[in-house]
Amino acid sequence: MTKKLVAGCLLALFLLPAAFAASEAGGAKKPKSIPFATTTCGDLLDIFAAADPKLNKDKKMLKGAQDRAFAYVAWTHGYLNGRDGIDAKRYPFDETGVTQLVGVMFNTCKGNDPMLFLDAVKDMR
């Protein structure tokens, strides 16, 4: 339980500055919810493609797509740490670790478009 609490606190500390910055810039907007429960692997692969600056040249749309993609990566990172225990060597939350996790997510979903994202995460190691 303590490990989950620490992981939750660390994630909150990481995300809070971005949330405050967004609310101060142009007034607070109601955040859009992320449909984790209904997202399929195909949807996730589309989100990753839209977040790739090599494929998406529209800067405004790219930023939104990257935010959505990061929400899935951050959630998956938290889920795996909660399920398997916090292991900074296995699941580092830095550029290398995030890149590695995106690869795991991509490979798990590739060829499994209709599978729900939440079911796919259970298969990730």
Residue pLDDT, tens place only, 19-52: 445 545 555 566 678 899 999 999 999 999 999 9
Q: Tell me what pLDDT residue 57 has.
A: 86
pLDDT at 25: 57
Residues 6+ apart with CB under 8 A from 14: 74, 93
pLDDT digit string (tens) for 87-117? 888 888 899 999 999 999 999 999 999 999 9
Report the C-alpha gap between 104 and 107 in whole angstroms.
5
pTM over 0.75: no
pLDDT at 66: 94
Report d(CA 65, CA 71) in Å as an integer.
10
Backbone angles phi, psi at 40, to 5 degrees: -100, 170
pLDDT in the model for residue 7: 43
> What distance in Å separates the CA atoms of residue 89 and residue 78, rounded to the nearest whole number?
14
